[in-house]
């Protein structure tokens, strides 16, 4: 099951058991868990958990001591090891799951695929990882399905380099990622217009592109266009289609913050809070935490705001959908142009560098642009 962090009350659930923590204990455990099974120096921990402060190594040691006491006997699957000469390492060993061997049974395959789709809807990347693990659940997909799923999980080059999938079948997927990464407003509009004028966006993908355009127009300061798209969506997107409803409400929340309309922002925040209580969609929840964090920055609750923004990336890391992480970085960078905050700016710079390096984003962007240009 893993660890589930609740920043609202600084508690953590470990295999269903809730443990109350103090604020810095919570942030320390969160950082150790993000990097579990990796040794971390005291300096790394200090920079991550106590930025812009000058605590001593003893501060880390004292907090580790308190965390160990709170975790002891309550979670044998978690151990914080002392690494001599370096610092500390959190070792997480989840309870073993029962292994199922997939058979040729068609009903089993169908049900497994439906389960995979449901996990994808809810942004449960860790569960999908286990479904795909041949030694655990053993779900077998055909080659196309597996390549597309791996693309969503961050293996972008496998789809880009695949010669087995015709370009017209992956062109819209490429368009979506490219316009998230592109910073040139003219190029963004040019590619969108070309795809639309040549009728290259299939019916089943139009809502996704419509939704993405909301955020892209916000990104390039065309708020009136974003507003028009949001009003248009209100005519057809309700909670009856939850897979789109949450993201459109996130679009409204982002738009309200950019407009600096506190009343509208609060309304959309409350709508999303109620929605996410009913639907535990992790990708939506990650971006929501960032927007909520900026809302608190506008009300001068800086510690609460920065904590929420930091925690958002823990949620997104667990969801394992890097495209959503890239989208969240895009939105955060946009909001930072309006609501200046040095702490958040430095945090996002580090996160962006980490994601770009991990998923080879510069090379991915170059190759996708070349592919689209050849296609068009």
The CATH number given to whatever domain includes residue 311 is: 1.25.40
User: Does residue 358 share a domain with residue 312?
Assistant: yes
pLDDT at 131: 54
State the pTM of this model: 0.75
User: Does residue 112 share a domain with residue 9?
Assistant: no
User: Does residue 174 share a domain with residue 129?
Assistant: no
Instruction: Give the strand pairing for 40-41 and 87-92.
Output: antiparallel
| Residue 308: alpha-carbon gap to chain centroid | 13
User: Does residue 242 share a domain with residue 368?
Assistant: yes
Q: Where is 56: in which H helix or E strand?
A: none
Whether residue 146 is contained in a domain is answered as no
pLDDT at 254: 97
| Residue of 117, 113, 106 lying closest to 137 (CA atoms) | 113
Domains held by the chain: number: 3
pLDDT at 366: 94
Whether residue 241 is contained in a domain is answered as yes
User: Does residue 344 share a domain with residue 218?
Assistant: yes
Whether residue 155 is contained in a domain is answered as no
Whether residue 129 is contained in a domain is answered as yes
pLDDT at 17: 80
Work out whether the CA dihedral 130, 132, 133, 136 comes out positive or negative.
Answer: positive
Please compute, for residue 107, the number of CA atoms within 13 A of its CA located in the half-sphere on the CB side.
Answer: 0
Tokens linked to 6: 């609740």
Whether residue 159 is contained in a domain is answered as no
User: Does residue 261 share a domain with residue 124?
Assistant: no
Please state, as a whole number, how many other Cβ atoms lie within 10 Å of the Cβ of residue 267: 14
pLDDT at 118: 54
Whether residue 13 is contained in a domain is answered as yes
Q: What angle do CA 49, 315, 33 make, to 5 degrees?
A: 50
Beta carbons of 183 and 334 less than 8 angstroms apart: no
Beta carbons of 183 and 158 less than 8 angstroms apart: no
* Domain containing residue 176: 167-375
User: Does residue 199 share a domain with residue 113?
Assistant: no
* Residues of the chain under the 70 pLDDT cut: 1-2, 52-55, 57, 73-76, 94-142
Integer CA distances (angstroms), 354 to 42, 46, 188, 285, 373, in order? 20, 18, 24, 21, 28
User: Does residue 213 share a domain with residue 317?
Assistant: yes
């Amino acid at each position: 099951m893993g660890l589930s962090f609740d920043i609202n009350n600084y508690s953590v659930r470990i295999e269903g058991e809730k443990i109350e923590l103090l604020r810095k204990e919570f942030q320390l455990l969160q950082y150790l868990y993000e990097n579990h099974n990796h040794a971390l120096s005291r300096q790394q921990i200090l920079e991550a958990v106590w930025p812009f402060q000058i605590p001593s190594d003893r501060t880390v040691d004292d907090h580790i001591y308190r965390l160990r006491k709170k975790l002891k006997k309550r979670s044998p699957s978690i151990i914080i090891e002392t690494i001599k000469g370096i610092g500390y390492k959190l070792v997480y060993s989840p309870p073993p799951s029962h292994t199922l061997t997939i058979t040729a049974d068609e009903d089993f395959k169908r049900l497994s695929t439906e389960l995979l789709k449901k996990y994808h809807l809810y942004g449960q990347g860790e569960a999908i990882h286990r479904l795909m693990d041949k030694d655990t659940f053993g779900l077998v997909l055909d080659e196309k399905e597996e390549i597309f799923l791996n693309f969503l999980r961050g293996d972008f080059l496998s789809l880009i380099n695949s010669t087995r999938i015709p370009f017209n079948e992956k062109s819209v997927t490429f368009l979506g990622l490219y316009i998230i990464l592109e910073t040139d407003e003219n190029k963004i509009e040019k590619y969108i217009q070309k795809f639309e004028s040549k009728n290259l966006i299939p019916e089943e993908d139009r809502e996704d592109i419509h939704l993405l355009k909301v955020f892209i127009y916000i990104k390039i300061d065309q708020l009136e266009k974003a507003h028009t798209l949001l009003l248009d969506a209100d005519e057809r997107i309700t909670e009856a289609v939850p897979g789109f409803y949450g993201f459109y409400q996130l679009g409204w929340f982002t738009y309200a913050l950019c407009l600096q309309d506190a009343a509208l922002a609060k309304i959309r925040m409350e709508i999303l809070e109620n929605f996410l209580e009913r639907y535990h969609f992790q990708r939506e929840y990650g971006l929501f935490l960032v927007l909520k964090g900026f809302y608190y920055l506008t009300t001068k609750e800086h510690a609460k705001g920065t904590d929420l923004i930091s925690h958002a990336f823990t949620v997104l890391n667990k969801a394992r959908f890097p495209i959503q992480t890239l989208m969240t970085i895009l939105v955060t960078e946009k909001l930072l142009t309006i609501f200046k905050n040095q702490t958040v700016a430095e945090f996002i710079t580090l996160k962006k560098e980490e994601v770009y390096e991990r998923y080879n984003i510069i090379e991915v962007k170059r190759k996708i642009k070349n592919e689209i240009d050849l296609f068009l």
